[in-house]
Amino acid sequence: MTTALVYGLGIAGRSAIGALTRRGWSVLATDDVLDDDARRRAGELGADVIDAVDVGEALGDVDTVVPAPGVPETHPLFAAAAEAGSVVVSEIELAYRFEQERAGGPRPMLAVTGTDGKTTTTLLAAAMLEAAGRRPIVAGNTDVTLLEALDLDIDVFVVEASSFRLRWTEQFRSEAAVWLNFAEDHLNWHESMASYEAAKSRIFSLQGPSDTAIGFVDDDVVMRHVRRAPGPQRSFGLTGADYRIQHEALWGPGGELAPLTTMGRCLPHDLTNALAAAALTIETGLATSAAVAGAVGDFRGPAHRLELVADHGGVRWFDDSKATTPHAASVAMAAFDRVVLIAGGLNKGLDLGPMARQAHRVRAVVAIGQDAADIAAVFQGHCPVIVAEDMGVAVDRAAELVRPGDVVLLSPGCASFDWYTGYAARGDDFRHRVEALGGLVDPSTQGAPT
């Protein structure tokens, strides 16, 4: 009997235990911190729970190690696995291998990676596939793991492939893959930027000669890896790309895809996300230009991604709480001419300097969170900076600073775990504080955020 060690008992870890035990594997499970609830859940799924201190001894009987995405590559688990000769695979790698054994044959897999924009692009691609009459599922770095998605009645996977999951892949390949962008992030997980880049690059390097690699034409790192891909190569971008904006429309190699007038919103990142998703679905033959046009007209993106939450007194308030990197915050700021920015939180060891590149658009900054001083230092000398001790004060100060025609933008550039349980809780708190000001907007009426 094949034996696996699942390290990490969150959503992905429990999904792995269930998938393995259903296929007859013997499973050991552990985590850095084990409480009674975690032990019970793992045991109910059929795993034998061991303490983390016993992993080294147990690895002698383990064929495969399946780490949860939250286990950083610097964790001692991996040195111990290498010494024991155990193979390390991520959840998407394991799922890919199981899918290849499917009785009816494997179903198509499309994949999306990038520092920012993955969630919206995967959802857009799925919407285009649905408009083409397909039955897609968005899986991977989402609420549904790829292992769970294997058992669903679908005919195509759209995989949101984070670097955490790509790092431990050896076979995972997709018929088409898009790499949206590359910027500093996750240095609290990866050993270095080189390691982060290498993990991302596996989305192309594991492809075959018939698989399409798609990259953002304005990102030199991404395009360097596109050019190394073994199969057809495509680019997307506002100009100078295979998928581009032309004649006031989304445009591909075969001509017009959709007039911009059909889109709910046309900020630059809305356009590039739509072009990336179009390339992903059209290049595989799974969607048509008609499906693209239908999808972009109806698409409503996820919450907390440049979501317009209020329009009051000539001022628009946007929740971009999911922007947890300086790169994501910079992209959001670039979408507007005059911004009062609410930024800060828990810095993930990143250089916040790139946010200052958009300082010419910023009227003032309200710095929040544990690392508010770092945000203040970035914008010092560019614009007024105020430090707020909680979100309520931040919203009040922003309301005092803003002028008609401006935008108040919560785009933190930092993680949320200093004050909140996650970026969604931070965004919800922002919305509730803004609610008292009036002018709330129904989210169902909003166009696609980034």
- Mean pLDDT in each 10-residue stretch from start to end of the chain (450 residues)? 92 94 96 93 95 93 94 95 95 97 96 94 97 97 91 97 96 98 86 95 98 98 98 98 97 97 88 97 97 91 88 93 93 94 94 94 97 96 96 96 96 96 96 85 47
CA distances from 131 to 153, 172, 287 (A): 17, 27, 8
As given in the structure block, the two tokens for residue 194 are: 């080189």
Any idea of the CA torsion for 118, 124, 130, 134, to the nearest 10 degrees? Answer: -40
Q: What span, in angstroms and rounded, lies between the C-alpha atoms of 234 and 237?
A: 11
pTM as predicted: 0.85
Q: Cα separations (Å) of 24 from 27, 88, 340, 425?
A: 9, 19, 56, 39
Q: For residue 439, what is the domain's CATH number?
A: 3.90.190.20
CA geometry: angle 152, 155, 156, nearest 5 deg = 100
Helix (H, G, I), strand (E, B) or coil at 64: strand
pLDDT at 450 (0 to 100): 38
Q: What is the C-alpha radius of gyration for the chain, rounded to an integer number of angstroms?
A: 22
Residues 283 and 204 in one domain: yes
CA distance 97 to 94: 5
Confirm whether 93 is domain-assigned. Answer: no
The reply to whether 135 and 187 lie within a common domain is yes
Question: Rounded CA gap, 101 and 157, in Å?
Answer: 16
Query: Do β-strands 307-312 and 315-319 pair in parallel, antiparallel, or remain unpaired?
Result: antiparallel
- Chain centre distance of CA 177: 14
Q: Which of 131, 448, 110 is nearest to 290 (CA)?
A: 131
Judge whether 394 and 338 are in contact, CB under 8 Å: no
The answer to whether residue 68 is domain-embedded is yes
Q: Which domain holds residue 61?
A: 3-88
Domain CATH code at residue 68: 3.40.50.720
Domain end position, chosen among 88, 114, 138: 88
Which residue among 298, 323, 345 closes a domain? 298
Q: Can you tell me which residue has the tokens 């195509």?
A: 156
- In a shared domain, residues 256 and 227: yes
The verdict on 318 and 386 lying in the same domain is yes
Specify the pLDDT at position 442.
58
In this structure, how many other beta carbons lie within 10 angstroms of the beta carbon of residue 248? Answer: 11
Q: List Cα–Cα distances, 161 to 106, 146, 236, 350, in angstroms.
A: 18, 10, 19, 21
Which H or E run contains 94? Answer: helix 91-100
Q: Does 222 share its domain with 286?
A: yes
Let me know: does 369 contact 412? Beta carbons within 8 Å.
Answer: yes
Domain count, the chain: 3
Give the residue from 165, 129, 136 showing the smallest Cα distance to 152.
136
The verdict on 188 and 274 lying in the same domain is yes
Residues 346 and 377 in one domain: yes
For residue 449, the model assigns a pLDDT of: 36
Report d(CA 322, CA 310) in Å as an integer. Answer: 18
Residues 313 and 268 in one domain: no
Residue 404 within any structural domain of the chain: yes
Residues 389 and 419 in one domain: yes
Indicate if 293 and 331 belong to the same structural domain: no
Q: Which residues does 238 contact at the CB level (< 8 Å), separation at least 6? A: 244, 245, 268, 271, 272
Instruction: Indicate whether 327 belongs to any domain.
Output: yes
Write the DSSP assignment of 268-306 as a string of letters.
HHHHHHHHHHHHHHHTTTS--HHHHHHHHHH----TTSS
Residue recorded with tokens 């075959």:
208
What tokens appear for 292 in the block? 């693209």
* Side chain identity, residue 60: G
User: Does any domain span residue 450?
Assistant: no
Q: Is residue 312 part of a domain?
A: yes
Q: Please say whether the beta carbons of 232 and 283 come within 8 A.
A: yes
130 and 216 co-located in one domain? yes
Q: Do 238 and 346 lie in a common domain?
A: no
Region for residue 438 given its phi and psi (left: phi exceeds 0; alpha: psi -120 to 50; beta: otherwise): left
The closest alpha carbon to 158, from 143, 140, 170, belongs to 140
Q: 278, 298, 318: which is the final residue of a domain?
A: 298
- Kindly give the pairing relationship between strand 3-7 and strand 26-30: parallel
